[in-house]
A and B are shown apart, each in its own frame.
Chain A
Amino acid sequence: MALFGEARDISMFRHVNRELMGNVISQQVVYYKPDIQETVVNMYGEASKEKYWNEPVLLNSIIERSDQSYPDSEIGVDFQWGITFKFLRDDLLNKLEEFNSNSVYGANLVPEVGDIIMWKNGYYEVDGTNANQYFVGKNPDYDYKDDNGDNPLGNMDLDQFGYSVSIICNTHYVPADKLAISPYKERF
């Protein structure tokens, strides 16, 4: 059986992370996911007309910024700014999780390419996501049990060990007018 990184330890990590990200670092972003039911797409899966967005969600995040750059292009001077947003994965899970019930956390969203993150009134489109930070190298979602609920190697409680800590989103800056995200419904 596994010994280290048990759910009790992970709970403590979660408390520390939420305290650190919520009360100490306190960087917040607004997360938009497209409403794929309302958004009309063409045969290539592109939104040819208006894009619709789900209600935004406010999240704590650790933000890592690269330098802004201003490359020349055919149409003039452009503006580029790549930012990495790091989320605590547990914050993104749903309210049914014990650690999210009775708390402000539990966004119930899965970051995907194309999502929009708003920070400092700027919009950043997700280019890629990375969920590859495992404490003691284990992800408790994978307990390797067979159809009978047994782990052939005898590790019956792997679902209680390890921790998938984060989801990291790499983004690039997107001008607001390209997204047509507006808090005002009358815009439409």
Chain B
Amino acid sequence: MADIAIWPGSSSFAPGKTPFGFYDYDSEFMGDADKVAKFCAQRLGYPIQNVELQDINFYTAFEEATTIYANELYAYKIRENYLSLEGGDARFPLNDKIIQPNLATIIKYSGQYGTEAGVGGNTNWYSGSISLTGSVQDYNLDTWASENGLEGENVEIRRVFYEAPPAIDRFYDPFGGTGTGMMGLTDSFGWGGYSPAVNFLLMPLNFDLARMQSIEMSEQIRRSNYSFELINNQLRIFPIPSDGDTGTKLWFQYLKKDERLADSIIDATDKISDVSNVPYENPQYLKINSVGRSWIFEMTLAIAKEMLAYVRNKYQNIPIPGSDVTLNGSDLLAGGEKDRDKLVEKLRTYFDETSKRAMLERRRDESQFRNEEMTYIPMTIFVG
């Protein structure tokens, strides 16, 4: 029967001994692999006890620990910068790049509000019009839609140009100097806004504003001002159009609801579209500093503990002559899992403490503390 060798006390790393080979040709990784194997074996009790693992088990754990470290690091970087990364080029690795914060994604996010507010956005608005008919107050815009090759359900009216001419066109130039009592007179003659240029008194802007408000309020109260009501694409306009209005076009703007959805989906081939394609590659082990490597060593040990636990725990009892024994697989497994969780938690805390937010908060605190400390310096009276 075969004899499967166990850890003999030393090892010699060579490329190809790890499952994935991510770091096999990294000179520092190659140099550390055997040291880590020895460290783990001795931490697991060798040479007092046998360790039923081989060098490749330790190398596997070492590779996994390095990859976990990189995953945690880059996941943190992605979380920290995703708003600045989304939509960026996904073809080139970001490993050695510094990411400057930008507002590109925030502005993209804001486009939706622009669409709804009619100030930009990412969905087109279209213009349409209906012809008014004298004495007809109600107009079915679904009918208009079908006449124009649209589905009424897909049309959302965004704006109706129902307003009266702007008040600024309705009163003559205040520099005309004819006084408030003549408001509307020049307009009635068709030359509102023209200035007879007889008043050279400098008038403040609030004077103009007050006049415009006055005109608009007059229109609303003294006249039946223009308005409309739109419910379920049924347009009712006020006042009831007169016969003279027949044929006049009432313009409105609308958007197509399906475009609102379609326009929100952007083709992102070769671009960063989610956290899975942010272009981070496996790190170069040789660039990981001693703080990171120390973490990796500890994580390697935790993984090795789990491995050894699985080996020793495959069978509940191990037969020995005339009896059987139970090995410490359960303890090893519990210890390994606990170590692993603690290490990951420690690393995440460490990363979080170096986030932009945390660093800014720290600077703020330092500044506050420094200022507070300065207040304890006696304020002497200068004697010249």
Contacts and interface: CB of A to CB of B under 8 A. Distances in A.
A14 B6 CA distance: 11
B52 interface: yes
B321 interface: yes
Interface string B1-36: 111101000000000000000000000000000000
A157 to B, nearest CB: 12
Contacts, number: 75
Contacts of A14: 3
Contact of B321 (A8, A15, A97, A168): A168
Contact of B52 (A12, A99, A135, A165): A12
A40 interface: no
B319 A135 contact: yes
A98 B321 contact: no
A38 interface: no
Given A9-B314, A12-B52, A16-B50, A165 B3 contact: no
A21 B4 CA distance: 19
Contacts of A86: 321-322
Q: In terms of DSSP, what is the predominant structure of the interface of chain B? A: loop
A98 B319 contact: no
B49 A19 contact: yes
Interface residues of A, number: 35
Given A20-B325, A99-B1, A160-B1, A15 B52 contact: yes
B322 A133 contact: yes
Contact of A62 (B2, B50, B318, B321): B321
Interface string A1-29: 00000011111111111011101000000
Contact of B327 (A16, A61, A165, A168): A16
Contacts of A17: 318-321
B315 interface: yes
A17 B322 CA distance: 12
A66 to B, nearest CB: 14
A11 B1 CA distance: 8
Interface of B: 1-4, 6, 49-50, 52, 311, 314-315, 318-323, 325, 327
Interface of A: 7-17, 19-21, 23, 61-62, 64, 84, 86-89, 97-99, 133, 135, 140, 160, 163, 165-168
Given A14-B3, A99-B1, A163-B319, 14 more contacts: A7-B2, A10-B1, A11-B1, A11-B3, A12-B4, A12-B6, A15-B6, A16-B50, A17-B319, A88-B321, A97-B1, A140-B1, A165-B320, A168-B322
